[in-house]
A and B are shown apart, each in its own frame.
Chain A
Amino acid sequence: MPPDVWVTGIGIVSALGEGVPVHVRAVREGHSGLAPREFFGGAVPDPVMCGMIPPEAMRETVEATPADRADRILRRATAAALTDAGITVSNGVEAIAGTTLGNMHGATCYHRQLREGRNVDPALLGGFILASPLRSVCRSLGITGRVLTISSACGSATAALGEAFHRIRSGASRCVVAGGFEAVSPYVVAGFNSLRLVSRHMCRPFDRSRSGLNPGEGAAMLVCEEAGAARARGARPLARIAGSGAALDAYHYTRAHPEGRGLAQAMRAALSSAKMPPDAIDHLHLHGTGTDANDPSEYHACRDVFGDRLSAVPAASTKPLTGHTFGASGALNAVFSIIALREKLAPGTISLVEQDPLFSGLNLARDAREAPGLKTAMSLSLGFGGESSAVVLTEAAT
């Protein structure tokens, strides 16, 4: 019988601030961390609505540089997760983190110095290797077990949680701190704007007037532990990871399948690994980016898996709260799902004005809803290139 996998610690930092309580408050009160910000002197677009971590949450120091922002974001979340779990010795702990663009600010700085003929700082080479931030953080926190960085676009963090889940279930590991991180930089903004995916307004997932995504930064790291080992050291469970699934669309090397074929397959795989039917899901935490292509894909996948029951399952996208944190988004979604389980509160999709009739089967609401029977949640991620993943979370029985 494979062991249970508990979540025993959470560290999270986003545009809403740092720590779980501030994210609970944001869900209850429905307030967003998005704000307009200029990049490139206002050229792209003017201004960009994005989710930047507030300076007080980063506790900026004199030594901080833009080039190592991703490292600092990840370090805050990882250290907080270990502290929350009561882990003071990280010897033997493994770490798996997802990221899409990592510390691209370093790469941008490198290119600028090169073009300007300046003496290039070789340390910025770290910006080219997405594995650098997690390595650096693990070294500084004394994490000595296996360290993996997954870069599967917007599905990276959910894939990281899935990998942690499978490693613990198979006995390969007893404790993995897993999640994702991302830092907003001019590269990120210009890149997604070049694809015409960035909205000038707050994103409106599944809304008739949706117009794109808002870039966001953040990190969420979750300490995932084998239940027996956690129990033995007196840890308390925050939630249980019950199942995980992943799939690929094989449709286009950047675009997702229009009918969400891969995401539906990932959802079914997650339910199968949790040994649960779709009926068991009480809350659906959507990827919900608010783009023209992704929202229909995701809707079709949900409809395919849940059928008519979809309209009975409270669903939400929290991207209007934090922005789209790309490689970190799956981990933030998982934390919001755990908040939903613990607070018995289905988050609202706060920017919803008029739900697009195309998605009429989705049970969305602008405001958070009390949900006393909420015991099981499924969190979805749909990535560039059709890499989809899903994770099933439940209350943790001690």
Chain B
Amino acid sequence: MSGAWIHGAGVITPAVAGGIPDLPGVLRETPASPPRSVERIPLPSGMKPQDGRRMARLTLLALWAADRCWADLRGRDAGLYVGLTHGTTALLKEFHDFLYDYGPDKASPNAFSNGVTNAPLGAVSKHLTLTKGGHTLVGFENVGLDVLDAACAALERGSVDLCCAGAAEEFSPLAEEAYSRCGWSAGPLPGSLPLPQSPGAWIGLSEASAFFALSREPGGCRYESLGSIDDAPGDTDLVISGASGGPQDLHELAALQSLSGRFAAPPALLFPKLWFGETFAVSAMLAVALACGICTGEAPAFVSPLDPSLRSCFLPSPPVDRPLRTALIVAAGRTGEVSAGLVTCRGC
């Protein structure tokens, strides 16, 4: 298990652009079908509009969130880890369109070079002048926690004193269409999670980016990477699940069911994708940021549509008799791997 203190966060989704305190308020709204894309991606500080003109949407989202999380750390050098799932399918499509419309000798160098998977990391590294190493991890719905684990491990072994870690996902009509061909189409919000009973009740794709500034120095909230979901502590108040009605739900359900009887008192169970949509690599990071916001403030009154098998071991809403201070993040990938992390807040 490795861990680190969170000293800053930047989050951008269609619903909110800001830091940790801005997230819990999103839960006060009744979930409706989450918007797919951010209306206007603001430029990060110091960046001219022409600098971002050729960049992928994905990269712009990452830049904004990373810049926001580093607001109090300008000038500090650090390591950098970034998580992605699909990368930029928009530039991938543009490249192929040029290839087939104009011929291979006129293929778009911009679409190719700005479309490679490590372009967001390169852009963030340059914008914040981060040189202390790192890399891009690509994975499924749980890769956000793998990114945090890699960053925490780098801090613990002393490779770096400070680390910037985040993820980004852009909304992709191409991916949405491909998923629908695989049988996953966005429909009405699920009546229960995980594994909604009604077919077609998948939350659907959205876009987002979330970045954290991590350090060994104590701060407000601490993130710890758990070796396994079995390491969840008995005094967990809140469990945040990555269920969305999507291909990972079978594994999310199994993971949540395995927690039955583990806790001193039933924790509240929250499905944030009802509000934020399926953002793949970003989703677990959004969950961490949301946990920090809830554990340092007052939990908004959400009601989670629990699968019947979970109703005896979890609460659908925050308990009234105690504050939420320890949150377990559960993120299952569609191929069966389950990652877990713990958020605790000091002095709360």
Which A residues lie at the B interface, using CB under 8 A?
A: 39-40, 43-44, 100-101, 107-108, 110-112, 115, 120, 122, 125, 128-131, 135, 139, 146-153, 155-156, 159, 163, 166-167, 169-170, 172, 186-187, 189-196, 245-254, 261-262, 265-266, 269, 383-387, 389
Please, could you name 18 A-B residue pairs with CB atoms under 8 Å apart, sorted by A?
A111-B100, A115-B97, A120-B181, A125-B175, A129-B85, A130-B138, A146-B146, A151-B136, A152-B121, A169-B157, A172-B2, A186-B104, A189-B104, A247-B132, A248-B80, A252-B122, A254-B114, A262-B131
Cβ of A194 and Cβ of B132 under 8 Å apart? no
Q: Least Cβ distance of A114 to chain B in Å?
A: 8
For A254, the chain B residues whose CB sits under 8 A away are 113-114, 116, 119, 122
Cβ of B89 and Cβ of A149 under 8 Å apart? no
For B122, the chain A residues whose CB sits under 8 A away are 248, 252-254, 384-387
B residues 94-131 in Cβ contact with A at 8 Å? 95-97, 99-100, 103-105, 107-109, 112-114, 116-119, 121-123, 125-126, 128-131
For B76, the chain A residues whose CB sits under 8 A away are none
Say if the beta carbon of B161 comes within 8 Å of chain A. Answer: no
For A169, the chain B residues whose CB sits under 8 A away are 157
Cβ of B137 and Cβ of A150 under 8 Å apart? yes
For B87, the chain A residues whose CB sits under 8 A away are 128, 130
A254-B113, A385-B119 are known; give 20 further A-B pairs, CB within 8 A: A43-B105, A110-B178, A112-B100, A115-B96, A129-B140, A131-B143, A147-B337, A148-B146, A156-B135, A166-B157, A195-B112, A248-B125, A249-B125, A249-B126, A249-B131, A250-B128, A250-B129, A384-B118, A386-B122, A386-B125
Question: Given contacts A170-B153, A190-B107, are A131 and B119 in contact (CB under 8 A)?
Answer: no
Q: Quick one: closest A residue to B147, CB to CB?
A: A148
Which B residues lie at the A interface, using CB under 8 A?
A: 2, 55, 59, 80, 84-87, 89, 92-93, 95-97, 99-100, 103-105, 107-109, 112-114, 116-119, 121-123, 125-126, 128-140, 143, 146, 150, 153-154, 156-157, 159, 174-175, 178-179, 181-182, 335, 337
For the complex, what is the distance from the CA of A166 to the CA of B160, rounded to whole Å? 13
Q: Least Cβ distance of B66 to chain A in Å?
A: 13
For A196, the chain B residues whose CB sits under 8 A away are 109
For the complex, what is the distance from the CA of A245 to the CA of B133, rounded to whole Å? 8
For B154, the chain A residues whose CB sits under 8 A away are 166
Cβ of B136 and Cβ of A150 under 8 Å apart? yes
Residue from B92, B114, B134, B181 within 8 A of A248 (CB atoms): B134
Cβ of A194 and Cβ of B109 under 8 Å apart? yes
For B55, the chain A residues whose CB sits under 8 A away are 253
Question: Given contacts A385-B121, A387-B118, are A269 and B133 in contact (CB under 8 A)?
Answer: yes
For the complex, what is the distance from the CA of A261 to the CA of B129, rounded to whole Å? 13
For the complex, what is the distance from the CA of A194 to the CA of B113, rounded to whole Å? 9
Cβ of A252 and Cβ of B104 under 8 Å apart? no
Q: Quick one: closest B residue to A195, CB to CB?
A: B109
Cβ of B178 and Cβ of A43 under 8 Å apart? no
Cβ of B153 and Cβ of A167 under 8 Å apart? yes
Cβ of A39 and Cβ of B104 under 8 Å apart? yes
For the complex, what is the distance from the CA of A163 to the CA of B109, rounded to whole Å? 31
Cβ of B118 and Cβ of A383 under 8 Å apart? yes
For B99, the chain A residues whose CB sits under 8 A away are 186-187, 190
Q: Least Cβ distance of B95 to chain A in Å?
A: 7
Cβ of B116 and Cβ of A384 under 8 Å apart? yes
For A128, the chain B residues whose CB sits under 8 A away are 86-87, 89, 92, 174-175, 178
Cβ of A191 and Cβ of B95 under 8 Å apart? yes
Question: Given contacts A115-B100, A120-B181, A170-B156, are A387 and B135 in contact (CB under 8 A)?
Answer: yes
Q: Least Cβ distance of A97 to chain B in Å?
A: 10
Q: Quick one: closest A residue to B337, CB to CB?
A: A147
For B118, the chain A residues whose CB sits under 8 A away are 151-153, 383-385, 387
For the complex, what is the distance from the CA of A108 to the CA of B100, rounded to whole Å? 11
Question: Given contacts A100-B116, A131-B143, A383-B118, are A152 and B136 in contact (CB under 8 A)?
Answer: yes
For A147, the chain B residues whose CB sits under 8 A away are 337
Cβ of A129 and Cβ of B86 under 8 Å apart? yes
For the complex, what is the distance from the CA of A18 to the CA of B122, rounded to whole Å? 34
For A112, the chain B residues whose CB sits under 8 A away are 96, 100
Q: Least Cβ distance of B132 to chain A in Å?
A: 7
For the complex, what is the distance from the CA of A317 to the CA of B182, rounded to whole Å? 44
For the complex, what is the distance from the CA of A150 to the CA of B117, rounded to whole Å? 10
Cβ of B143 and Cβ of A125 under 8 Å apart? no
- Interchain residue pairs A-B with the least CB separation, the first 4: A385-B122, A246-B133, A253-B122, A151-B117
Q: Least Cβ distance of A179 to chain B in Å?
A: 15
Q: Least Cβ distance of A384 to chain B in Å?
A: 6
For A172, the chain B residues whose CB sits under 8 A away are 2, 153
